[in-house]
């Protein structure tokens, strides 16, 4: 963004003003995440920077909150993490299978009432979460699935499938259907064609949809608040309770771990996106 | 094709038209069967329950079913003076049955919603009714408490006769049906819900505006910078986007608290005195700041994906035709970004209007939104029909916004990242 030498002064000023504004916005976006790192290593029980931390005194830093997170007595994080992963994995599997199959049907040009069905399938993404929460709670309570893992997994499948449907239909929009016809003409049955030809080609879309579904489930709190009992507590629920009741630095240790996890997911998602763009020949 | 002789036949003698239609239908069924599992799943677990919410929100059968005889005998009563003996008798019979089934508590809660003061007189009636003699129930019931001789209370019972009611919806906008059946607003100082609706709209609007003002320049920068820099800066947008909502809310709680980093900074640069640190959390400020940061990526990403497709030569052409950079921007670049602006604003506004977690944690009493009220009624007061009514009103609003947006801009593919 170097300016040419002949730029007039007022545009030069304007340009630097613009760069300053952008920097401020970027700072506003990313800085709040970084306040968590140092504070999670706080040796004291406060959630603000102690004098020692400001002077970079090594004694002011410690791993005690990380130890508390893992070994703390009566601490809920172990159970919560286990539940969160189990629920997210099953919800992702369910969303990916249902969503991919539906996307295959939706991108067929023979599909009747495409607009209406698409609207129905992605409606859980559009409807405010609190309303979805109430509706799903009523269903689960009637079906006797409130406060069970199954109930929460089903709820998260509802919330996760729209992402899979959208990403997979987007991938399929650039899909060359003649390859599947070629496969069938060579004697392959539909299931075999799907597994050997279609799936490998749309895999980036499927995985990135799956990542969205995983994150949605792993981070979901509104619906779980309605559904979860004591046994089904998840990481977001524990964080929610912690943030409401007393803010202990252990939460910051957990938050740091979650930021690291989301960084990993971000990297995976970005790599996939680039790969799929390359495959579809969009990238220059 | 329709003339008998011109019909083209396939090899097995079936007309081609029929054969093609058959194949077409087969394809349709095949496509539909693929969608069917998800569609069925969503219909059962999601769409029907939303319908169930609608039923619940208007359903008022509970009292209707608890006092069947009373309401039957009330049909002939004009409601002007105290009801006749017949009504008292059937009310006594209905009530005794409820007491036997231990359901009188529910009745008293329900009637108390309609008119305050039912709880105590029903309790009293329950105690006294054991010793009632047969016949002349009107006298006996009226002797229990003077409110039983007040026609207002009988009218209140009569108002619960219909099996369906719009009462919950009216309550949601601080209105009610008064004794004459007219719809009126509640007193000025009790209009809590209208304040909440207005506040929700206000916060959603300003958060959308703030997001737009902040997202436009950075989306533009991201779209115009060379790839290697823009990819790096894109992380600043995508990392918050992928990070847990609760983590981001937690970091704002730390930053905005009174001994927090932002206040420390204000004190350091001398903006505020150390002993008068402003309260930035548990009020509207907290909600605004945290929601804007959290929803900002949802504005940046659609804007970016639109700006990326605008060729830089268009701006150059505008300038070479004599426009100053500002004119070229305003006349050429800005109109081309309108689809992105529309998508971003729609997304942010709809997300903001239904926001729950962040306002509940950093909003305090003056920064909570309509969703918090819905959750409150679901979890604390257990008035599920009211929560359903409020939820559906919110849903109707969201769908209306979609409809308007679709008319104005057109909902094309929703893009993710």
Kindly report which listed range (A63-72, A101-110, B167-176, B247-256) carries the lowest average pLDDT score: A63-72
Chain B residues in contact with A120 by the CB 8 A cut-off are 39, 42-43, 47
What pLDDT is attached to residue A280? 63
Asked if A45 and A232 touch (Cβ cutoff 8 Å), the reply is no
Where are chain A's structural domains? 9-65, 79-245
Asked if A236's CB is within 8 angstroms of B244's CB, the reply is yes
What is the rounded CA–CA span in Å between residue A243 and residue A237? Answer: 10
Asked if B245 and B357 touch (Cβ cutoff 8 Å), the reply is yes
Bridge partner residues of A90 (DSSP): none
- Check pLDDT > 60 for residue A121: yes
Structure tokens at B268: 């350091």
Give the closest-approach CA distance of B371 to chain A in angstroms.
6
Chain B residues in contact with A49 by the CB 8 A cut-off are 261, 264
Fold for domain B192-408?
A: MetI-like fold (1.10.3720)
Region A79-245: CATH code: 1.10.3720.10
Give Cα separations from B172 to A104, A127, B53, B165, B371 (angstroms).
43, 19, 15, 13, 12
Preferred mutation among A128, A157, A160, A261 to probe B, highest tally of B CBs within 10 A: A128
What is the rounded CA–CA span in Å between residue B129 and residue B122? Answer: 10
Asked if B251's CB is within 8 angstroms of A255's CB, the reply is yes
Structure tokens at A105: 């049907």
Where are chain B's structural domains? 1-59, 61-163, 192-408
Split at pLDDT 50, 70, 90, the class of A17 is very high
Chain A residues in contact with B378 by the CB 8 A cut-off are 133-134, 137, 226
Bridge partner residues of B175 (DSSP): B185
Split at pLDDT 50, 70, 90, the class of A90 is very high
Asked if B374 and A134 touch (Cβ cutoff 8 Å), the reply is yes
pTM of the model: 0.84
Considering only CA atoms, which of B57, B7, B166, B42 is closest in space to residue B390?
B57
> What do you get for the CA distance between the two ends of chain B, in Å?
50
Q: Reduce the DSSP state of residue B187 to 3 states and report it.
A: coil
Query: pLDDT per residue over A132-176, tens digit each?
Result: 999 999 999 999 988 899 999 999 999 999 999 998 988 888 788
Give Cα separations from A110 to A176, A179, A194, B45 (angstroms).
16, 18, 18, 27
Bridge partner residues of A42 (DSSP): A61
Asked if A48's CB is within 8 angstroms of B259's CB, the reply is yes
Nearest CA in chain B to A268: B242
Chain B residues in contact with A174 by the CB 8 A cut-off are none
Q: Reduce the DSSP state of residue B175 to 3 states and report it.
A: strand
Asked if A106 and A114 touch (Cβ cutoff 8 Å), the reply is yes
Query: pLDDT per residue over B23-64, tens digit each?
Result: 889 888 988 999 999 999 999 999 999 999 898 888 888 888
ipTM above 0.95, yes or no: no
């Amino acid at each position: 963004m170097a300016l040419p030498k002949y730029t007039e002064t007022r545009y030069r000023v304007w340009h630097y003003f613009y760069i300053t504004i952008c920097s401020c916005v970027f700072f506003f976006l990313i800085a709040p995440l970084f306040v968590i790192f140092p504070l999670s290593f706080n040796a004291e029980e406060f959630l603000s920077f102690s004098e020692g931390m400001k002077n970079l005194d090594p004694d002011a830093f410690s791993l005690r909150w990380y130890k508390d997170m893992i070994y703390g007595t009566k601490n809920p994080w172990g159970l919560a993490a286990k539940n969160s992963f189990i629920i997210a994995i099953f919800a992702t599997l369910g969303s990916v299978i249902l969503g991919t199959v539906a996307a295959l049907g939706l991108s067929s040009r023979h599909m009747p009432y495409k607009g209406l069905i698409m609207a129905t399938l992605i409606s859980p993404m559009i409807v405010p979460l609190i309303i979805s929460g109430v509706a799903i709670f009523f269903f689960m309570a009637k079906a006797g699935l409130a406060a069970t893992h199954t109930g929460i997994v089903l709820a998260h499948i509802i919330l996760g499938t729209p992402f899979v449907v959208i990403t997979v239909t987007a991938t399929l929009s650039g899909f060359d259907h003649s390859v599947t016809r070629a496969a069938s003409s060579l004697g392959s049955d539909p299931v075999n064609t799907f597994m050997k030809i279609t799936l490998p080609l749309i895999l980036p879309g499927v995985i990135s949809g799956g990542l969205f579904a995983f994150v949605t489930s792993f981070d979901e709190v509104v619906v779980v608040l309605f559904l979860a009992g004591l046994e089904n507590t998840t990481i977001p629920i524990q964080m929610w309770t912690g943030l409401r009741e007393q803010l202990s630095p252990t939460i910051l240790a957990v938050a740091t771990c979650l930021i690291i996890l989301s960084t990993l997911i971000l990297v995976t998602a970005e790599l996939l996106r680039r790969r799929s763009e390359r495959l579809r020949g969009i990238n220059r | 094709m329709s003339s008998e002789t011109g019909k083209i036949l396939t090899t097995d003698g079936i007309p081609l038209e029929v054969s093609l239609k058959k194949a077409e239908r087969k394809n349709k069924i095949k496509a539909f069967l693929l969608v069917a599992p998800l569609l069925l799943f969503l219909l059962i677990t999601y769409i029907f329950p939303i319908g169930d919410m609608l039923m619940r929100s208007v359903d008022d059968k509970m009292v209707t079913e608890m006092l069947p005889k009373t309401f039957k005998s009330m049909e002939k009563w004009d409601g002007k003076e105290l009801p006749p003996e017949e009504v008292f008798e059937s009310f006594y019979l209905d009530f005794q049955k409820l007491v036997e089934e231990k359901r009188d508590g529910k009745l008293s809660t329900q009637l108390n919603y309609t008119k305050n003061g039912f709880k105590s007189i029903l309790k009293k009636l329950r105690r006294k009714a054991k010793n009632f003699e047969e016949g002349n129930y009107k006298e006996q019931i009226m002797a229990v408490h003077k409110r039983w001789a007040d026609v207002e209370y009988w009218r209140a019972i009569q108002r619960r006769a219909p099996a369906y009611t719009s009462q919950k919806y009216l309550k949601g906008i601080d209105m009610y049906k008064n004794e004459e059946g007219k719809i009126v607003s509640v007193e000025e100082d009790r209009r809590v819900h209208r304040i909440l609706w207005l506040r929700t709209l206000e916060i959603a609007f300003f958060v959308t505006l703030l997001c737009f003002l902040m997202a436009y320049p950075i989306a533009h920068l991201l779209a115009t910078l060379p790839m290697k820099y823009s990819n790096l800066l894109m992380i600043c947008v995508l990392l918050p986007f992928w990070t847990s909502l609760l983590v981001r809310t937690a970091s704002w709680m730390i930053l905005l608290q009174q001994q927090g980093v932002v206040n420390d900074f204000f004190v350091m640069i001398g903006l505020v005195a150390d002993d008068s640190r402003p309260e930035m959390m548990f009020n509207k400020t907290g909600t605004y700041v945290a929601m804007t940061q959290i929803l900002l990526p949802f504005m940046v990403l659609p804007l970016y994906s639109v700006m990326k497709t605008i060729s830089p030569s268009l701006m150059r052409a505008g300038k070479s035709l004599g426009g100053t950079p500002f004119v070229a921007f305003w006349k050429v670049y800005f109109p081309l970004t309108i689809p992105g602006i529309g998508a971003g604003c729609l997304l942010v506004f709809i997300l903001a209007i239904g926001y729950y977690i962040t306002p509940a944690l950093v909003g305090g009493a003056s920064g909570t939104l309509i969703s918090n009220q819905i959750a409150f009624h679901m979890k604390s007061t257990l008035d599920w029909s009211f929560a359903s009514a409020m939820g559906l009103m919110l849903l109707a609003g969201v769908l209306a916004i979609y409809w308007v947006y679709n008319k104005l801009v057109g909902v094309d593919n929703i893009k993710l990242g």
